[in-house]
Amino acid sequence: MNDSVVIVTVTHNSSAVLPRFLVTARGATRVLTPIVVVDNASQDVDEARMLSEAGQARFLGLDSNRGYGDGIARGIASHAAAADFILISNPDVEFAPGSIDILLDAARNNPQAGSLGPKIIDPAGTTYPSARPVPSLSTGIGHALFSRIWPTNPWTRSYRPIPVVSSHDIVPAGWLSGACLLVRRSAYDSVGGFDTSYFMYFEDVDLGDRLGKNGWTNLYVPEAVVVHTGAHSTSQSRDAMERKHHESAYQFLSRKYSAWYFSPVRGILRLGLHLRGRRHLPGR
């Protein structure tokens, strides 16, 4: 019951959502939990610093934006005291009371759990698909080529979230959303943490995949609930972020299937993601 936790979040022009994040995080656990706010070169950096300090959080301002995973890694490295667990979260998350403690209890009862994720809902109460299988090259190609014109295609269906019958179920998953994720520090360190070459998107897929390959499990704990109020820092640059998502998807799958004999299908995947991305460009 004496496990230590540090909460790390990364902001980018996110001052509007930071106060609720800090307040609800404090109410989500009985454990005395330090919070580290890492700012990725925001325009509102001064306000983010002021709000963080008012909320008794440690503030780390970076002079350049190297991505979400890099910001998380720097926040963890900056925390002098080694914590048993790291709660990684977007700043536009609001925690239900006791939600972090529920994740911690599940972690204590499942010592092989490298990461544990809560049920993530939007403000309307719709559940976000935050626990999924690790994507394969075939599902990546099929999803990239057909998801817009044939939404019920079998490749997109196979990438849907892990089914859960009861909120009390604890369900293994291939990976869990980095929007809110409790990670065991020993597991995080054993795989080298986030791969910071991912600027945004798929760093959580990659982490879950590497944890699984190294003998850890990723557990979805739907009894713990958080509200994701929206992709605040990316809402004003959706086209650029859509392209970045496609680039990260290709990066992950091309590394997973790097053998020379996969070269033709990597080419098809790149083409599919390129065509899918072009449909999101302005004027299209």
Provide the CATH number for the domain around residue 116. 3.90.550.60
The partner residues of 237 in beta bridges, in order of sequence, read none
The answer to whether residue 161 sits within a structural domain is yes
Long-range contacts, stretch 98-101, CB < 8 angstroms, 24+ apart: 98/28, 98/29, 99/28, 99/224, 99/225, 99/226, 100/5, 100/7, 100/25, 100/28, 100/29, 100/31, 100/33, 100/182, 100/224, 101/28, 101/29, 101/30, 101/31
The answer to whether residue 259 sits within a structural domain is no
The answer to whether residue 208 sits within a structural domain is yes
The answer to whether residue 249 sits within a structural domain is no
Q: Is the torsion defined by CA of 228, 232, 235, 238 positive or negative? A: negative
The answer to whether residue 187 sits within a structural domain is yes
Label residue 67 left, alpha or beta by phi (over 0 means left) and psi (-120 to 50 means alpha). Answer: left
pLDDT truncated to tens, each residue of the chain (284 aa)? 578 999 999 999 999 999 999 999 999 999 989 999 999 999 999 999 999 999 999 999 999 998 898 999 999 999 867 899 999 999 999 999 999 999 999 999 999 999 999 999 999 999 998 999 887 656 655 655 556 666 666 656 655 666 665 778 899 999 999 999 999 999 999 999 998 888 777 799 999 999 999 999 999 999 999 999 975 444 445 555 566 666 666 666 667 666 666 676 666 666 666 655 555 433 32
C-alpha triplet 227, 245, 255: angle, nearest 5°: 120
What contacts 68, CB < 8 A, 6 or more positions away? 10, 40, 178, 198, 199, 200, 203
Domains in the chain, number:
1
The answer to whether residue 15 sits within a structural domain is yes
Q: Which residue range is the domain that position 210 belongs to? A: 5-231
